[in-house]
Amino acid sequence: MTHFTKLLSASVLALTAGMASAQTDITVAIQLEPPNLDPTGGAAQAIDSVLYSNVFEGLTRFMADGSVVPGLAASWDISEDGLTYTFTLQSGVMFHDGTTMDAEDVKFSLDRARAEDSTNAQKGLFADIADVTVIDPATIAVTLAQPNGSFLFNMAWGDAVIVAPESIETIASNPIGTGAFTFTDWVQGDRLELTRNDAYWGDAPALESATFRFISDPTAAFAAVMAEDVDAFVGFPAPENLPQFEADPRFQVLVGNTEGETILSMNNQMPPFDNVLVRQAVSLAIDRQAIIDGAMFGYGTPIGTHFAPHNPDYVDLIENSSHNPDRARELLAEAGFADGFTTTLKLPPPSYARRGGEIIAAQLREVGITAEISNLEWAQWLEDVFKAKDFGMSIVSHTEPMDIGIYANPDYYFQYDNIVFQAVMEKLNTTTDPDMRSELMAAAQTLISEDYVNGYLFQLAVPTVAKAGLNGLWLDQPTAAVDLTGVSWSE
Amino acid sequence: MSRNIALGGLLTALFTALALVSFLYTPHDIQTLDIPNKLQTPSGTNWLGTDHFGRDILSMIMMGARTSIAVAVLAVGIGICVGVPLGLLAAARRGSLLDEIIMRGNDLVFAFPSLVIAILITAIFGPSAINAIIAIGIFNIPVFARLSRGAALPIWERDFILAARVSGKSSFRISYEHILPNITNLMIVQGTIQFSLGILAEAALSYIGLGAQPPTASWGRMLADAQTLTSIAPHVALIPGLAIVLMVLGLNLLGDGLRDLLDPRIRRARA
């Protein structure tokens, strides 16, 4: 009996001890597994999701609200002509392998990213850099070929993080950065583990270790969260299950914005979509709200142009393409397609595309357009639609921040070629005056909206399901990232 | 025995009737979506409720029955039209090199798991109902070729065939006029079983997105669409699932019953 009491009190003690100190590890699930671990070499968003801010840092960085703040650069001076940025680096920054981070590493990283043979997925970010000069180990000057109003913004991207020449060889499998967490292990197909970096230069994170898991199947995702196998799921794939989590006191649901403009893209060089009347008819035939309700179960903000509605420069142009099937039929008749036409609708795997595609096909049928659906895997979609441009219409979410510039590239897969728009973008790139920039961005948004380049559907929402008591996760996704540096458990 | 035929026949007839009626009438139009009315439970207006796009599930089941039956009928048709002549030819030339080539070729196709063939074909030629039919049809060929050869061989040894040969009939004519009628019962029984497998294969292909493409209704895709909805609207997944189960059960019962009734080997054993 005494023995039993002792055991009981011991276990009670152990229990209360466990309750007193908060949990210091976390298991986070995301949908897709990164193909490699080099954010400066691969295009996959999943690389940034796992490593951005956690393992790798850039000169500047995005905060949860999308603002750009100093990162490895403690401060900077911009010359009068807007051409030279002189960065003063944080002192005492070490890479995870023990080497110091100094101006030479910054020069190496920027030169590597903008080199001819660079495999950086966003080379455009570095296109304006003319020269990078090391002034002393803590100071570096970047000279631009022309003023670029978004240079500091560009340097915050995951593709612009600072890497070291000592560890660059094996970066794809063993990433060495300066961040608050060090990479420990990657079991491909299963999980990736991070451990707190005790030599971190900034504020130490509350978490001691973190595990990323990769679950793309919506049913498995639901089961994993329900069974509490994961502490948080960032980008939960099945919006229809969110109300259940909301009703469950064990969980909290955060529905934030992404930079993902979800569009019905049209092949602007292929008849009949080379005719603006046809594109307008398609845009008017679509009922956005029905798509948001039907495909996303109500999660998503309608958009009228290719711009994020939470951006202060967003112009509400939804009226240009509000649902009007009668007018759509008139426009089709005007364009010479009174009896409608048949085209293809090629859909990538995400549910917004597959479900949205069925809804759009039904809505287009109402005005006489037959859209033949074919469901493609991502690799096939990239090959057929994105590279070969063999498609009539497609649905995809463009998740890069501030990516309206893709409309200035006539080779981009939807092949919009408008000299006026290209001139506006060119002017925007060389303008630093904020008011002038706002005006130009508004002009650009209006141009593509009134040209009905694509059908603008909605801003993709990112639902995060987390256990109650977990604080500090990002609500919005200004860039693809699961930043764990500010995450903690409440006691 | 007769109970099997009765129950199996009833279920098969029910779904066939649903499919036929869908050509003339469905309670609701499934081409127009009614999203505000989604995931309704069964009611007076929607007898089986509505799916995630607000479409009437009963109408979807009727249209889906049409797809399932059409795919299975055509696929089994391919199997019979190609497989039976191959089998008869092999039996007529038994022991020859031609026989070897035909039957080993069939073994080769048979050795592949049927669904893998289907995935291969739809991966190369793109997903569509036609490609699903061809894929399911191809793996039906060796089934009928083997069965018809096996059934034809003992008949070739019978006296009336000898009589036909003595009267100067060619082996092709004998196969067509004397062998084929004697193995028809067997083919009907096997056809019924293959038909149920065809329904299952179509549902499986559609489930993984390789069968009939939207907006064509398909039970397999209804199931796939309903997968994440099972916890909030279980009927959306249960109903197409039940439709598949009942249809396949019906065909299997019917096949069993018909075999008891028609298969000469079993009939002889019983006598």
| Domains present along chain B, CATH in parentheses | 3-25+69-210+229-270 (1.10.3720.10)
Residues A417, A393 within the same domain: yes
> In the prediction, which pLDDT does B213 show?
82
Q: Is B184 on the interface with A (CB under 8 A)?
A: no
Residue A11 lies in a domain: no
Q: How far apart are the first and last CA of chain B?
A: 15
> In the prediction, which pLDDT does A15 show?
47
- The mean pLDDT value of chain A amounts to 89
User: Per-residue confidence at A20, pLDDT binned at 50, 70, 90?
Assistant: very low
pLDDT surpassing 70 at residue A12: no
Residue A399 lies in a domain: yes
Q: Which residues of chain B have a CB within 8 Å of the CB of A290?
A: 33, 35
The span from the CA of B218 to the CA of B62, in Å, is: 9
Q: At what angle do helices B57-92 and B219-226 cross, to 10 degrees?
A: 130
> In the prediction, which pLDDT does A66 show?
82
Residues A380, A405 within the same domain: yes
Classify the complex by whether its ipTM is higher than 0.95, answering yes or no.
no
Could you tell me what percent of chain A has a pLDDT over 70? 96
What number of other Cβ atoms are within 10 A of residue B151's Cβ? 24
User: Which among B25, B30, B27 has a CA at the least distance from the CA of B225?
Assistant: B30
Residues A191, A241 within the same domain: yes
Q: How far apart are the first and last CA of chain A?
A: 34
User: Per-residue confidence at B267, pLDDT binned at 50, 70, 90?
Assistant: low
pLDDT average, residue stretch B152-179:
90
Residues A373, A468 within the same domain: no
Q: Using only C-alpha atoms, what is the Rg of chain A?
A: 25
Q: At what angle do helices B234-262 and B2-24 cross, to 10 degrees?
A: 130
The token pair at A202 is 């900034």
Residues A207, A194 within the same domain: yes
Domain edge (last residue) among A164, A194, A219: A164
Residue A19 lies in a domain: no
Q: Which of A358, A381, A384 to mutate to probe the B interface, most B CBs <10 Å?
A: A358
Domain edge (last residue) among A129, A164, A199: A164
Residues A150, A119 within the same domain: yes
Q: How far is A289 from chain B (nearest CA, A)?
A: 10
pLDDT average, residue stretch A449-460:
94
Q: Is B39 left (phi over 0), alpha (psi -120 to 50) or beta?
A: left
CB B236 within 8 A of CB B39: yes
- The mean pLDDT value of chain B amounts to 88
Residue A37 lies in a domain: no
According to DSSP, the residues that pair with A394 across neighbouring strands are A265, A346
Pairing verdict, β A84-89 and A73-78: antiparallel
Q: To which H or E segment does residue A19 belong?
A: helix A2-20
CATH code of A422's domain: 3.10.105.10
A18-32, A258-272, A428-442, B227-241: segment of lowest average pLDDT: A18-32
Could you tell me what percent of chain A has a pLDDT over 90? 65
> In the prediction, which pLDDT does A5 show?
52
Q: Using alpha carbons, list the distances in angstroms from residue A85 to A71, A75, A403.
A: 15, 10, 23
Residue type at A474? W
Q: Is B127 on the interface with A (CB under 8 A)?
A: yes
* DSSP structure string for B96-141: SHHHHHHHHHHHHHHHS-HHHHHHHHHHHH-S-HHHHHHHHHHHHH
The span from the CA of B228 to the CA of B225, in Å, is: 7
Residues A192, A210 within the same domain: yes
pLDDT, one tens digit per residue, over B3-51 is 888 999 999 999 999 999 989 988 888 887 888 888 888 888 888 888 8
**Structural domains of chain A, count:** 3
Q: Using alpha carbons, list the distances in angstroms from residue A215 to A189, A218, A233, B58, B258.
A: 9, 8, 9, 33, 47
> In the prediction, which pLDDT does A180 show?
94
**3-state class of A466 per DSSP?**
strand
> In the prediction, which pLDDT does B129 show?
84
Residue A308 lies in a domain: yes
Residues A207, A272 within the same domain: no
Site of tokens 């065939």: B161
Number of Cβ pairs closer than 8 Å across A and B?
A: 59
The token pair at A198 is 């005790």
Residues A383, A407 within the same domain: yes
Can you say whether the dihedral through the CA atoms of B101, B106, B112, B116 is positive or negative?
positive
pLDDT surpassing 50 at residue A329: yes
> In the prediction, which pLDDT does A389 show?
93
Q: Is B16 on the interface with A (CB under 8 A)?
A: no
A2-6, A265-269, A466-470: segment of lowest average pLDDT: A2-6
Residue A17 lies in a domain: no
Residue A432 lies in a domain: yes
Residues A253, A395 within the same domain: no
Q: Which residues of chain A have a CB within 8 Å of the CB of B214?
A: 357-358, 361, 373
pLDDT average, residue stretch A182-208:
93
> In the prediction, which pLDDT does B111 show?
87
pLDDT surpassing 60 at residue A14: no
pLDDT, one tens digit per residue, over B78-137 is 999 999 999 999 999 888 999 999 999 999 988 888 778 777 887 788 778 888 888 889
**3-state class of A479 per DSSP?**
coil
pLDDT average, residue stretch A463-485:
91
User: Which among A130, A368, A383, A184 has a CA at the least distance from the CA of A272?
Assistant: A368
CATH code of A205's domain: 3.40.190.10
What residues make up the domain containing A78?
57-164
pLDDT surpassing 90 at residue A375: no
pLDDT average, residue stretch A280-286:
95
The span from the CA of A385 to the CA of A6, in Å, is: 69
> In the prediction, which pLDDT does A136 show?
93
Q: To which H or E segment does residue A379 belong?
A: helix A378-381
pLDDT average, residue stretch A258-265:
92
Residues A63, A81 within the same domain: yes
pLDDT average, residue stretch B160-174:
89
Q: Which residues of chain B have a CB within 8 Å of the CB of A240?
A: 52, 228-229, 232
CATH code of A128's domain: 3.90.76.10
Residue A151 lies in a domain: yes
Residues 6+ away with beta carbon under 8 Å from A314: A307, A308, A445
User: Which among A256, A262, A310 has a CA at the least distance from the CA of A286?
Assistant: A262
Q: Which of B38, B213, B218, B222 to mutate to probe the A interface, most A CBs <10 Å?
A: B213
Residues A467, A456 within the same domain: no
User: Which among A208, A205, A258, A251 has a CA at the least distance from the CA of A230?
Assistant: A251
Q: Which of B28, B38, B53 to mutate to probe the A interface, most A CBs <10 Å?
A: B53
Q: Using alpha carbons, list the distances in angstroms from residue B247 to A162, B11, B30.
A: 62, 6, 22
